[in-house]
Amino acid sequence: MESGIVGLPAPPLEHVRWIDDNGDERSPLTLAELGRGFKILYFFQDWCAGCHAHGFPTLVTLAEKFHGKGVGMAAIQTAFEGSDVNTFDRLRENQRRYGLRVPFGHAVADPVLADAVLAIMETYRSSGTPWFVVIAPDGRVVYDGFRLDAASLVRALRPLAA
């Protein structure tokens, strides 16, 4: 699988089962529903130590800094392994554990794909977890990778965020 989609239009959020920012199951989420400004997607697994040590704290910082500033966010669990542990029910637990009032999704395996790679991972070309994607208001991906420095992103987006 080729890694990274920086500069390309962000793909739709397909084959994902969602809960809303209150933890209630909801219909599929679109990127447009995250707003017209910048969007941040966070891909994780419940059992991923790096997701809890780095990824979630980064997302919490970003959620606090951009609250009310027009930056949309969503977290997506990509259970490409350990599907017996990385379950849909873990979404609410992680949402509450970190106090994140953002939609959470659980990637559902695409029956067309023969291997263990999930459709959302294929379309976003993520290489594991924790993985961040930042999408500009024009719909193009401007960041796609493992490590995201929250302070640097806040400095870069603050003048551009609504």
| pLDDT for residue 146 is more than 80 | yes
50-106: per-residue pLDDT in tens? 999 999 999 999 999 999 999 999 999 998 777 788 899 999 999 999 999 999 999
Percentage of the chain beyond pLDDT 90 is 67
| 142 touches 10 (CB < 8 A) | no
* 29 Cβ contact list (under 8 Å, min separation 6): 13, 16, 18, 74, 103, 105
Q: Looking at residue 2, what is its pLDDT?
A: 46
Given pLDDT bands bounded at 50, 70 and 90, which one contains residue 6? Answer: very high
Nearest residue to 143 (alpha-carbon basis) of 155, 132, 158: 132
Domain annotation for the chain: domains and CATH numbers:
16-157 (3.40.30.10)
- Residues of the chain with pLDDT > 70: what percent? 90
What pLDDT score was predicted for residue 119?
A: 82
- The Cα 117–Cα 81 span in angstroms is 9
